Structures are given as structure tokens and as C-alpha cells.
């Protein structure tokens, strides 16, 4: 067995990717969730996205949320932006960690932002220049990296092409998103392996959804390849817009539980995170899919009959 | 990366371990579920258990269920027995694949059958002799192999002691049960590795619960060690009696999806199994945790907007 990394860096995406796929909650609740998350030991939080409120009404109050958040100086907060306009808004709000999403699948990219993948890639250099000029970093998140809800399989070559174009444009880091949970360990191994071969020094993060139950298996496969940067959402917030009732992002509690139990440090206090998970469930008003939120850490015993 | 097995043998445990942790359903429904499962390509099904009806009312009609099942000659049906009385009932009903469960944790074993682990082990030789005399095989399932809901951690040495005693008594095969989902990949690697070292030729199956979300990660870790025998329950039937709302057994659909996608044959028709999963949900009257049951196989695309 390969050695696992001794430590991983988790990026909490519940406030953005999670809430984007829930019924809108109040600004106060979003602020409370972000403030609570920043006290759990998490060191990276994707706080908001600056998208058009007609496209994603859940994020319409991004500026307001961000202005009220009690910023923990030990946390790196990031914002997702769809285009130049969003980038300007994010930078005006003070964000210096920015993410742009481009779908490897043309159909998915068109459905999201009415442009082909190639058209979105053509915009990248300008976005990167604007970010860098303001001292901000820009990550490219490639969505549908392991499959598309409209097209099905997305060829690995196409995902690698998107990554290559991003690198050529000057992205600071890359993340692969498994938008609808279509990855399995062997697919993770292949894509990560080919990416590492092509771009050995590029910081690489992985963003898994648990739509088909394989989220933690994919994390484990990636860990064995030395990947030490993962996205997860508290409580497993957010569902899948294409599969009613299916899970969304992998749950941060589950990732923290598994990694810490294997001796891989996350820096996160699981008990504190579970409290925030229960808070998140109250805010969205339904039971979230996180299993550890139900069962607790493995140290939680019950009285014998 | 290590090579994965080209093929695994799944044992469907929904009709027994799954239903045991649900509100009782009708005999007709149990028979319909078993008959449907036997048409999916599954080649091993744990059909019933012969336990005292006061202990587990869900299995009170085991004889009746079994007498009505349309037996598929290509399927090996097994029965779980807690003691000599159950063994006699199972053999009288015609079962030749028998399983005895002993908990590695004393507290859990006492809670289940009011005996210490050592006392249960002392009964094994007699059970094995009776089974073998009738031409039946007997598997020892060690429950709480990765932790106990009452005691917490269960030392690996204790689990290995139970296995060793079983081997000395003449068991035909061994299975480790993660009764409340406390295993993670590193724990799987350690226990499987030490078991293989001690008993290289002993057939070994693994029985994971997804109580903390790590079920498929554990399967993947075990696959990398060459384990090719896993239990799973259709739809992820059954919950966890110690953690309300938590998942039970890993869902057969999820295991089949992941394995087949990685090129590991299961022999199971996923689409047919999904139909049975929906049937199982109707019978138990609530949504089951299987994610693939919600999202479908990765080939299930939706129309672009």
C-alpha cells in the first residue's frame, strides 16, 4: 500500500456549492453558518459565488453575506465567479482567492453559461490577468470532469485539454469537479495520473459529489496518489439538481472522520463540526445526507442493555 | 496501484440483515423480494435467519418464507443461525450454507445471545460437527470486528483470537462484520492483512455497514488486497439500531455500480437490481439510503435544457 499524505487541506464548500442546491435561506443564517464553520479548524472556506441572481437566487445576497461575516484571520475564504463581471464584484468585495468554473462538457457549459467550453477557455487569460493585477489568485475548477448529466461520459482527453488550456493561460491551481458523482476510483486514478504526468507541479484539488455513493472511495483512491486537497460540504449539504433525492457534495464530517481515523490530519475538530452540521440541517429544514452526523464519531458508544 | 480482482462474489443480505432492522413486512413481500433478487444475477443470497421470534420478530416466518421461495438453482441461499436449535431448524428446512455469528466484543455478544464470546466459541465445534455431518458448510461471521457500539474499539488481537478459535474448530469460511460502520480503509488493511498472514488459505468475506459513510472506501481498500467476497443489501435496507437515521448495510446497487465501472465483474444486472431496490423500498415503506437507487447508473443522462 502506498503511504498516505500525513496531512490534507480541506476546502469547505457548503456555504456555496451546498446552499446553491438548497432552497434559499436567510442572509443571517448564511452568516451564522460561515462564522460557525470558521471556528472548527477548517482553514479554507468557499464563502459565496458572485453570479447573476436570476441564475442562482441562492447567492443573490453574496455581498451582504460577506460584509457581515466575522472573518477569521486563520481562514482563507474564496469566492466563485462565472465571468469578468463576477470577478470584479468578488475583488471589490475583497476576495483574493478566486475560482472560475468551466465544464469539460460542452452541453453542461452551455446550459450553465450559454457558451461552449472553448469559448469559456478563451476568456481565461483576461480573467487571470485581472486577478493577478489585483494580487488575487485564480483557480480553474473543471466541472463534469468524470462525466456529464447530459452527455454521459466525458473523454479523459477532453478534460486534460481543458486543464492544459488553463495551465497555458496561467491558472494558479486546478480542481476537478465530479459534478454529478460519476467518478469511481479507477477513473480518479487515470485522470489524476495523466494530469500529474502533464503538469507535475500544478497544485491539484479534487471536488467529489456522493451522488452514487462513491465519494469517500474516490477520496481514498486519490489519497493513495498523494492528493492532499479536497472539497467537501458540511452535513453533505446540497443535492443533485439532476437526480431528485440524491446526495450532493461529500460530507465534510465523513471526510474528517475517515481521514483522521487513518492518521491523516485535517486540523478539523470533528465534534465542533458536527455541531455546525446540525445547525446547517436546521437552516435548510431537512435531514442532510451526512452519515457521521447521524451516527457520530466512532468513539460515541451507547449503554449496553 | 495493486491489481483488483477480475471478479467478486457478492452475497445479498437484504432479506436477512436488512429486513431484520426494518419494521416487519409480510411473508408475501419477503418471498417476492427473494424471488426478484434471484433474477438479477446475484449468485448468493442470505435468505433468512432461524432465531427466536421473540428476539427478532422480523424473522418469525423464516420457515414459511423459505418454503414459498421459488428457488433458482443457480443461486446459493444461506441461513443465519444463532445456536444449535437454529442450526437444526435451518438444516431441517434444507439449507446447506449456514452462518453463525459471534461478536468479537463480549458486551455485544452478551447483549445478543447472553453469552460471552468465549462461551459462544466453545459451542462452535458441536455446531460444525452437526453441520458437516449433514453435508452443510458453516461460516463464522465475526461481528463488531472493527468496533462495538457498547465498548468502542475492539482490539485487533481479540478479533484475530476469535478467527483463530474458529479455524481451530473447523469453520469452512470466515467473514468479518463491521456491525456499526466503524471501519476505515487503514483498519481494513490491518485486520485483513493479519488474518491473511495467519490463515492464508481461509476463504474470507467482508461485511460492511455504511453507518459512517466509509462502506465503499472499505470495499475498495479490501479489493486492493485481493478480497473478492462481500456482503451487501439491496437498496441499503436496514438501519443501525444504535444510531437512529443512520445507514445499515452497504447498498448492493452501489457496490455493483462501483465494481462494474472499475472492470470488476459481479455478474449482477444493475438495471434489474435497481428495479428490485424500488420494490424493496415499497415493501419497507420509506426511502432507502442507496444513492444509485436515486441517481441511477452513470449512463442515465437527462435532457439538456
Whether residues B302 and A217 touch (CB distance < 8 A) is answered with no
Handedness of CA B81, B82, B87, B89 (dihedral sign): negative
What is the pLDDT at residue A1?
47
| Cβ–Cβ under 8 Å, residues B44 and B12 | yes
What is the pLDDT at residue A305?
86
pLDDT for B259-302, tens place per residue? Answer: 999 999 999 999 999 999 999 999 999 999 999 999 999 989 99
Q: Does the domain formed by A9-295 have CATH 3.40.630.10? A: no
* Cα gap B77→B48, rounded to integer Å: 9
pLDDT for B55-109, tens place per residue? Answer: 899 999 999 999 999 999 999 999 999 999 999 999 999 999 999 999 999 999 9
Whether residues A212 and B244 touch (CB distance < 8 A) is answered with no
Whether residues B244 and A150 touch (CB distance < 8 A) is answered with no
Task: Choose, out of B213, B249, B270, the residue to mutate when testing the contact with A (most A CBs < 10 Å).
Answer: B213
Compute the count of residue pairs across chains A and B with CB atoms less than 8 Å apart.
163
Chain A CB contacts of B4 under 8 Å are: 186
What is the pLDDT at residue B21?
93
Which of B147, B245, B299 has its CB closest to that of A298? B147
Chain A CB contacts of B226 under 8 Å are: none
Question: Which has the closest alpha carbon to A75: A33, A29, A40?
Answer: A40
| Cβ–Cβ under 8 Å, residues A205 and A178 | no
Whether residues B302 and A150 touch (CB distance < 8 A) is answered with yes
Nearest-Cα distance to chain B for A92, in Å, is: 33
Chain B CB contacts of A298 under 8 Å are: 147, 152-153, 182, 212
Chain A CB contacts of B230 under 8 Å are: none
Chain B CB contacts of A251 under 8 Å are: 213
Nearest-Cα distance to chain A for B1, in Å, is: 8
What is the pLDDT at residue B2?
60
Domain boundaries, given as residue ranges, for chain A:
9-295
Q: Which residue out of B240, B268, B288, B292 is catalytically annotated?
A: B240
Is residue B174's pLDDT more than 70?
A: yes
Enumerate the active-site residues of A: 240
Is residue B230's pLDDT more than 70?
A: yes
For chain A, 305 residues long, give each residue's pLDDT as a single digit of tens. Answer: 468 999 999 999 999 999 999 999 999 999 999 999 999 999 999 999 999 999 899 999 999 999 999 999 999 999 999 999 999 999 999 999 999 999 999 999 999 999 999 999 999 999 999 999 999 999 999 999 999 999 999 999 999 999 999 999 999 999 999 999 999 999 999 999 999 999 999 999 999 999 999 999 999 999 999 999 999 999 999 888 888 888 899 999 999 999 999 999 999 999 999 999 999 999 999 999 999 999 999 989 999 98
| Cβ–Cβ under 8 Å, residues B138 and B171 | yes
Q: CA nearest A186 in B: which residue?
A: B262
Whether residues B258 and A213 touch (CB distance < 8 A) is answered with yes
Cβ neighbours of A267 (radius 10 Å): 15
Task: Choose, out of B178, B291, B303, the residue to mutate when testing the contact with A (most A CBs < 10 Å).
Answer: B291
Task: Choose, out of B212, B238, B287, the residue to mutate when testing the contact with A (most A CBs < 10 Å).
Answer: B212
Whether residues A258 and B213 touch (CB distance < 8 A) is answered with yes
What is the pLDDT at residue B131?
98
Whether residues B243 and A148 touch (CB distance < 8 A) is answered with no
Is residue B1's pLDDT more than 80?
A: no
User: Mean pLDDT of all residues in chain B?
Assistant: 96
What is the pLDDT at residue B240?
85
Chain A CB contacts of B109 under 8 Å are: none
Q: CA nearest B243 in A: which residue?
A: A295
Which of A107, A242, A246 has its CB closest to that of B291? A246
What is the pLDDT at residue A3?
87
Task: Choose, out of B295, B297, B300, the residue to mutate when testing the contact with A (most A CBs < 10 Å).
Answer: B295
Nearest-Cα distance to chain B for A261, in Å, is: 7
Whether residues B1 and A147 touch (CB distance < 8 A) is answered with no
Whether residues A301 and B210 touch (CB distance < 8 A) is answered with no
> 3-state SS string over chain B?
CCCCCCECEEEECHHHHHHHCCCCCCHHHHHHHHHHHCCCCCCEEEEEECCCCCCCHHHCCHHHHHHHCCCCCCCEEEEEECCHHHHHHHHHCCCCEEEEEEECCHHHHHHHHCCCHHHHHHHHHHHHHHHHHCCCEEEEEEECCCCECCCECCCHHHHHHHHHHHHHHCCCEEEEEECCCCCCHHHHHHHHHHHHHHCCCCCEEEEEECCCCCHHHHHHHHHHCCCCEEEEEHHHCCECCCCCCCECECEHHHHHHHHHHCCCECCCCHHHHHHHHHHHHHHHCCCCCCHHHHHCCCCCCCCCC
Chain A CB contacts of B301 under 8 Å are: 148-152
Choose between A1 and B136: higher pLDDT: B136
What is the pLDDT at residue A124?
97
Whether residues B150 and A220 touch (CB distance < 8 A) is answered with no
Whether residues A213 and B292 touch (CB distance < 8 A) is answered with yes
Amino acid at each position: 500500500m502506498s503511504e498516505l499524505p500525513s496531512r490534507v487541506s480541506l476546502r469547505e464548500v457548503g456555504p456555496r456549492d451546498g446552499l446553491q442546491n438548497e432552497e434559499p435561506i436567510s442572509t443571517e443564517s448564511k452568516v451564522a453558518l460561515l462564522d460557525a464553520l470558521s471556528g472548527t479548524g477548517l482553514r479554507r472556506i468557499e464563502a459565496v459565488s458572485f453570479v447573476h441572481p436570476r441564475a442562482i437566487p441562492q447567492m443573490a445576497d453574496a455581498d451582504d453575506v460577506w460584509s457581515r461575516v466575522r472573518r477569521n484571520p486563520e481562514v482563507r475564504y474564496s469566492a466563485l465567479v462565472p465571468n469578468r463581471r463576477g470577478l470584479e464584484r468578488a475583488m471589490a468585495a475583497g476576495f483574493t482567492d478566486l475560482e472560475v468554473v468551466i465544464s469539460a462538457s460542452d452541453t453542461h457549459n452551455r446550459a450553465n453559461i450559454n457558451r461552449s467550453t472553448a469559448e469559456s477557455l478563451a476568456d481565461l487569460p483576461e480573467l487571470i490577468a485581472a486577478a493577478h493585477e489585483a494580487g488575487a489568485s485564480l483557480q480553474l475548477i473543471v466541472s463534469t470532469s468524470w462525466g456529464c448529466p447530459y452527455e454521459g461520459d466525458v473523454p479523459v482527453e477532453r478534460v486534460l485539454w481543458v486543464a492544459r488550456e488553463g495551465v497555458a493561460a496561467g491558472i494558479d491551481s486546478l480542481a476537478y469537479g465530479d459534478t454529478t458523482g460519476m467518478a469511481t476510483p479507477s477513473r480518479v486514478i487515470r485522470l489524476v495520473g495523466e494530469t500529474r504526468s502533464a503538469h507535475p507541479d500544478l497544485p491539484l484539488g479534487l471536488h467529489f459529489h456522493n451522488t452514487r455513493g462513491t465519494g469517500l472511495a474516490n477520496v481514498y483512491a486519490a489519497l493513495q496518489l498523494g492528493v492532499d486537497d479536497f472539497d467537501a460540504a458540511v452535513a453533505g449539504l446540497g443535492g443533485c439538481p439532476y437526480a431528485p433525492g440524491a446526495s450532493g457534495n461529500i460530507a465534510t464530517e465523513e471526510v474528517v472522520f475517515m481521514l483522521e481515523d487513518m492518521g491523516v490530519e485535517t486540523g478539523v475538530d470533528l465534534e465542533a463540526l458536527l455541531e455546525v452540521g446540525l445547525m446547517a440541517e436546521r437552516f435548510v429544514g431537512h435531514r442532510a445526507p451526512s452519515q457521521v452526523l447521524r451516527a457520530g464519531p466512532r468513539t460515541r458508544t451507547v449503554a449496553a442493555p
